[in-house]
Amino acid sequence: MAAEEQAWDGIDVRAYSMATSGKLNERIISREFWGPAGAQLEAEGFEYVADLDDGLNLPPALKVEPSSSRPTAVIGVDDALVAISLYLAVRVGDWAVGRVCDYLWERRMRKPLKAMLERRRAEGYANEPMVFAFGVWYDLDGVYIGTRATLGPDEDGANLADLTPEAQRRGLKWIEAHGITHPIILFPVQNGTLADVPEHPDSIPG
């Protein structure tokens, strides 16, 4: 059995969605992440949500509503946004979160994110606002755990590659302590720091 099949053994439905917005040059930069990331996810057997037609019953919480999910106090209509969400037909727990953080993120996602941020700095966009969002819908428990990082002027996002998987672990600990009280558990990143207490928006960032 291939390593990819072993890693996801027992998770028959795996899917992903992506969203990007901003000026043309910013969208080109964002491809450093979502282009390779999409290819890497498909190598792991993830299918793009749009390709599944009616075969995937996405819950209402995964319906993206940009007008309500984007932080309007910071992000303007031309500012950059890069968001990716995963759908796993599995319960949230140590095993699933470990697969996302220790296997998928380290093997497939960390390098594309760092490449995008490095290109953003190299091409002089480090002073432009940007939002990066990542999260996972654990379908058998009906809960989404994610993070949304708002990068302001002179924030290079150097620690995002570490904070993004940490949000998954923090979300699991939150559920273990409080139970699943909301379908969305979102940990914001501000000034390079991951929040200790999550937000519960009506829709995911995108």
Neighbouring CB atoms inside 10 A of 204's CB total 25
Helix (H, G, I), strand (E, B) or coil at 20: strand
Q: Which uninterrupted H or E stretch holds 147?
A: strand 143-151
The model's pLDDT over 18-68, given as tens digits with 9 standing for 90+, comes to 877 777 566 666 677 777 888 888 888 888 876 554 555 566 555 444 433
The model's pLDDT over 86-145, given as tens digits with 9 standing for 90+, comes to 989 899 999 999 999 999 999 888 888 888 888 878 877 777 788 889 999 998 899 999
Amino acid making up residue 178 = H
